[in-house]
Structure 1
Amino acid sequence: MNSTLFVLASLDGLSYAALVFLVSVGLSLIFGVLRVVNVAHGSLYAFGAYLAATLSLLVTPISPWLTYPALLVASLVIGIVAGGLIERLLLSRVYGREEVLQLLITFAVFMIMDNLQRMIWGVQPIYAAEPLKLLPNVSIFGVSYTSYQVIVLPVVAVLALFGLRYFLRRTLMGSVILAVTEDREAATAIGINAQRVYLITFIIGATLAALGGALASPTTSLVPGMGTEMIVLSFAVAATAGLGQIEGTAITALAIGMARAFVIYLQPEFEVLVPYLIMVAVLLVRPEGLFGATKLRKI
């Protein structure tokens, strides 16, 4: 591999890792607090992408720069409306029930949303690249690359990481969430509304997934099934890091994103396998994940 391909692979891996992190950290947050494996997370990513593209196409004739607020609006709408409805109408009824029931419900939501996506937007590819085109390319070690992918996406991912850390560790609501995560019964006994905490947490996680989709919409054609690919990869990242680990998710997303990018340039036929080979290798050695902590099981 020459130096040009090395730089290209590194930049590809960085931009892809930023998107994967946004989706994976939302998935990890939801599991860490609610103890629910949300299979429908991929559909929230897809809906965020499709709504962002739709809004971008609508506002572009008015002003192309309005496409950037459109990305944020799309992620908030999907996170608050779709995420709130899923949590209130479905998940709130199965907390504490068998894990297989929770898994089946979120899988059913995933299937419903996947078909709803096809009904609303059809099956033809949608492409809304205006946010990508507005910003000039930058030259990095002699390689020209889009500043949207190499600057905007990583910056948003870093802001999301530190913003989430600050929220959970430095704010009252974050402390309440951590208290419910640690011991729901004790938190409820001192007057904390656990149901409200679950709702807020799910909306935050859903918004992060939708934000990942919204930011991805200018970089690729939107096609049916995009949510499936992302949810499987997000599970691989979250499981490799250790479910519920925020900082670990960032490091793992970067590692898997880089590995995938380099494999595309060196051995593209192994692109799909690499993230899962890494996951299997890690879980065989550390079943709790790279950054997960072993917990005693109550009997």
Structure 2
Amino acid sequence: MLKFTAIMLDGLNYSAWLFLIAVGMTLIYGVMRILNIAHGAFYAIGAYVCVSALGAYYAAGLPEAMAFLAMGAAALAAGVVLGLAVERGILRFLYGKDEVLMVLVTYAMFLILGDAVKLIWGVKSYFVYQPYAYFGFLEIGGLPYQVYDLLMVVLAIIMGGGLWFWLEHSRMGRMTTAVVADREISSAMGINVKRIFATTFAIGTVFAVVGGAITAPKIAVTPGIGVEVVILAFAVVVIGGLGSIPGAAIGALFAGYARALSVHLAPQFELFAIYAVMAAVLAVRPHGLFAKVSGRKI
């Protein structure tokens, strides 16, 4: 029974983390048709920004209970500034180009930003465990579990729900949906497609940066942490279907529980579990579980 509880909790926690790092990638692809390889670098920058913000916060002797607000504010500001800088400074000159070229450009940005992280923060590891330890443990089914990990699940639900509400019930969200369907007709109808692109890329970047920020207290923040993340995010969005927000959620659940089952029941297969799920899904649904139907233009 303890093992079952551990699998359920670990799978849920890992799924929430995967959703946070993958939903921004699938949102950007769905609207802009850009497979953003730089997403992993945004995640790493979020982790380093969190470390710096918390270091300054604790050094100032401010209340520990409010440190989470400092994390959130730093991640939000970094995500918006970084997203707008990349979109306005580089990507807006490449719209309409071949999708393969966009992949190469974002891969180049991934490498450049990775070196920029080393120039700013160096190559040593950073540890900021205080937020992770602050809430302590909670006993669930006889198993002690970190409250911080459960709060990550709550954050993923809130952010995912907020994104869905924005897309479905706000004016900007409905315009974004129209751009996804047909950007040329949307532009002809008076929708500012460039503003939609900038907003979408900034939101996608914020999700990646927040994912890195909330992960920082759980790990040693070192150069290269974004490499594995971009591969996992890509696996999740492929399982769910490129461009599908519900697909990212379902894909994250599939991948998260596949990993949890392998960790607890067959640890030797942990490295392959997520990719085995991806291969199985693609064998049946080559475009993912919730891939959107694309109309044929005549």
TMscore range, shorter length: over 0.9
Q: C-alpha distance in 2, partners of 1:37/1:283?
A: 18
2:83–2:201 contact (8 Å) kept in structure 1: yes
Alignment match, 1:116: 116
Q: Secondary structure at the match of 2:36?
A: coil
3-state SS in 2 of match to 1:95: coil
TM superposition score normalised by structure 2: 0.96
Deviation, structure 1 residue 252 = 1.5
The answer (yes or no) to whether the contact 1:74–1:210 under 8 Å persists in 2 is: no
User: Which residue does 2:244 correspond to in 1?
Assistant: 245
Q: Secondary structure at the match of 1:144?
A: strand
Per the alignment, residue 134 of structure 2 pairs with: 134
Tell me what 1:255 maps to.
Answer: 254
Whether the aligned pair in 2 keeps the contact of 1:161 and 1:247 (CA below 8 Å) is no
Query: Where does 1:279-290 land on structure 2 (aligned, <5 Å)?
Result: 279-290=278-289
- Tell me which residue corresponds to 1:85: 85
Per-residue deviation, residues 61-114 of structure 1 (Å, max 9, x unmatched): 322123201221222122111111111111111111111210111000000111
**Following superposition, which runs of at least 4 residues in structure 1 exceed 4 angstroms of deviation?**
none
Whole-angstrom CA distance in 2 between matches of 1:78 and 1:128: 18
- Counterpart of 1:263, as a letter, is S
Give the aligned residue type for 2:95.
Y
1:196-207 equivalences in 2 (<5 Å): 196-207=195-206
2:271 is paired with a residue of what secondary structure? Answer: coil
Q: Is the 8 A contact 1:48 1:214 kept in 2?
A: yes
- 1:239–1:289 Cα contact (<8 Å) kept: yes
Q: Provide the residue aligned with 1:223 in structure 2.
A: 222
Q: Name the counterpart of 1:268.
A: 267
Is the contact between residue 243 and residue 292 of structure 2 (CA under 8 Å) also seen in structure 1? Answer: no
Q: Which residue of 1 aligns with 2:73?
A: 73
Find out whether 1:291 has 2:290 as its counterpart.
yes
Rounded to whole Å, the distance in 2 between the matches of 1:25 and 1:51 is: 20
Distance 2:136 2:71 in 1: 19
Following the alignment from structure 1 to structure 2, what is the Cα–Cα distance between the partners of residues 121 and 98?
35
Aligned equivalents of 2:254 and 2:282: distance in 1? 15
Q: Which runs of structure 2 are paired with 1:13-32 in the superposition (5 Å)?
A: 13-32=11-30
CA positional deviation for 1:296? 4.2
Q: CA separation of 1:9/1:123 partners in 2, compared to 1, >3 Å: closer, same or farther?
A: farther
Aligned AA (2:246): E
Give the alignment's Cα RMSD to 1 decimal.
1.3
Mapped to 1, the partners of 2:233 and 2:220 lie a distance apart of 20
- Give the Cα separation in 2 of the matches to 1:118 and 1:261: 32
2:157 equivalent in structure 1: 158
Cα-to-partner distance string for 1:221-268 (whole Å, 9 max, x where unaligned): 112111111110000000110011111211210221111122122222
Quote the offset at 1:288 in angstroms: 1.4
Question: Please, which of 39, 42, 60 is the counterpart of residue 40 of structure 2?
Answer: 42
Aligned to 2:53: 55
Per-residue CA deviations over 1:184-217 (Å, capped at 9, x if unaligned) read 1111112111001000000000001111111111
Tell me if structure 2 keeps the 8 A contact 1:59–1:66.
no
Residues 3-33 of structure 1: CA deviation (Å, up to 9, x unaligned): 2222223222211211110111110000000
Preserved contact between residue 240 and residue 289 of structure 1 (Cα < 8 Å):
yes
Structure 1 unmatched ranges of 5 or more: none
State the distance in 1 between where 2:223 and 2:266 align: 26
Identity %: 40
Query: Deviation per CA, 1:100-137, whole angstroms, max 9, x where unpaired?
Result: 21011100000011111112222222111111111131
Amino acid at match of 1:222: V
**Partner secondary structure for residue 254 of structure 2:** helix
CA distance in 2, matches of 1:9, 1:252: 17
* Structure 1 partner of 2:209: 210
Q: Is the 8 A contact 1:184 1:194 kept in 2?
A: yes
SS at match of 2:34: coil
TM-score, with length taken from structure 1 = 0.95
State the AA in 1 paired with 2:284: V
Which residue type is aligned with residue 124 of structure 1?
A: K
Task: State the match for 1:232 in structure 2.
Answer: 231
